Amino acid sequence: MVDWLMLCLYYPGTTLGLTAFVTYIVYYFTNAVKRPLFACRNSAWRLFLEENLTVLQEKYWPTPWCIDTHLQTFFASVSRAFIRPIDYKREVLRLKDGGEVALDWLEASERRANPVAVVLPGLTGASDSVYVIGMVMSLHKMGISCAVLNSRGTGGMELKTTRTYCAANSDDLEEALDHVAVTRPGAPVMAVGISLGGLIIGHYLTTRKEAAAKKLVAAAVQSVPWNLVQGIRYIERPGLSLLFNQYLAYCLKGLVRLHRYQLEGDHLLDIKEVLESITVRQFDTRFTAKQFGFDDAEHYYQASTLYHKLDYIKVPFLCLNSGDDIFQPLEDNPFGAASKSSHVALVVTVRGGHIGFMEGLWPAKSYYSERLLTQLVVSIFSNLEAMKSIQKEADDYAKAVEVACGNA
C-alpha cells in the first residue's frame, strides 16, 4: 500500500496511464467482447444456423485498439490496403434498356454447375473494392465461384444510358441472376450483398418473392441500414458522422463527374447543381430521386427501407449488422420481425462499425464478417437437400402471412 502511494506521489503520469489502461481493459472485456445477438424464431432455418455456424457460438473480439464505430469503419479499409487485386474474368452484360453491367468472375472450378455466389458491393464500390476482394477470396478458397456485379458506371464500366443505380431498384440484379441461371444451368446460386448491395438484394427479395425463390437457394447481407430514413438522419449528426456523410457525397459526385457527358443527356438533371451537393441527402434529392421518379430524397429513403418488409421475403435470409453501425442505432434493427419469421435471421454484434468487423491485434487477414458469411455460404451449398425443407417452410410461412394480411 505504501509502495502504491509512493508511486502515485512521485510518478503521477505513470499512475494515471496505468489507471487508464486498466480501466480500458476492464471496459473492453465487459462491454465490447460479447456473443452476437441472434433473432429468428424456432424453425428449420434457425436450427440449421445453430448447427452449422459455429461463429454464432463465439464471442466477437473486436480489435482492442479500434472498437469505436468510426475507427472500425475507417481502419477496416486501411488494414486491407495491401491486399492483392484479383485477376477477374469480366463478362459484360447488356441490359434490356441498353445499359450495361459487368459480372467479374473468379471461378473455383471449371464445372459450370459449381455453386455460385453473386456478390453486390456497397454504394460506390466495385469488384476492386478491398472489402469485396476480401469476401471473394474467402469464398473462393472454400470452392465457391464468385461473380461480382458491378453496377452501371462502376468498376471501369462506361455508362451507356443516363440511368445509374439505387437502393430501391433491383432490375439489373434480376437480369444478372437470369443470365447466371441460363449460363450456369444446374448451379445453386446465392446472393451476398454489402451495405447498398444488401439493400438492392433486399428490394429484389421483397418485390420478386416467388420468382426470387426460384433463382436463389438463400441470400445473405452485411451492414444493411434497415431503416434508411433514420439511417441518413443518423449520419447527418454533427461531428465524425457528418464528415462520413460528406465523404460519401464526394464519392457519389465522383461518379457523376466521370460520366458527366452521358448524364447531361437527362433533361431532368441539373448537373451543376448535383455537383454542388455537400451531403448525401442533397445528392439524392438532386440526382437519385429525379433519376428514379421519387418526389425527393425522403421519398426515396422510404421506398428503400426494409425493416417493415421482412414478411415479403420468401428466401432463407441472414443479415449481419453491428450494434454501433454509423448508419443506424441498435434499436433500428428489426429484432421483433426477425424473431417472428421462420426464415429471416438477424445477427448483430455489439461492435463492428459499418463494413468493419475487424478482429485481432492487426486484422490483415481475419474479419468476423468474412468468417461468418463464408461459413454460412459453404454450409448452405454443402447441405442443399436440407435447404429444400427450409425453403418449403419459408414458402409456407410467407403464404400464411399473406392469408392473414388478406383477412385483416
Enumerate helices (H) and strands (E) in the chain, giving the number of each: 18, 9
- How many whole angstroms separate alpha carbon 224 and alpha carbon 207? 17
- How many whole angstroms separate alpha carbon 335 and alpha carbon 326? 18
Spot the catalytic one: 104, 284, 325, 332: 325
Residue 12's pLDDT is: 60
Spot the catalytic one: 138, 311, 354, 369: 354
**CB neighbour list of residue 22: distance below 8 Å, 6 or more residues apart:** none
pLDDT beneath 70: ranges in the chain: 1-17, 19, 364-365, 406-408
Catalytic site residue 299? no
Helix axes 384-407, 368-382, angle to 10 degrees: 100
Helix H or strand E segment including 164? none
For 138, the grid coordinates are 474467402
Domain with CATH 3.40.50.1820 in the chain: 33-80+88-225+317-326+337-407
Cα first-last separation, the chain: 71
Spot the catalytic one: 195, 342, 369, 379: 195
Residue 5's pLDDT is: 54
Catalytic site residue 203? no
The answer to whether 231 and 332 are in contact (CB under 8 A) is yes
Residue 237's pLDDT is: 92
Residue 2's pLDDT is: 45
Using the Cα atoms of residue 204, residue 207, residue 211 and residue 213 in order, give the sign of their dihedral. positive
What is 33-80+88-225+317-326+337-407's CATH number?
3.40.50.1820
Catalytic site residue 354? yes
Residue 364's pLDDT is: 66
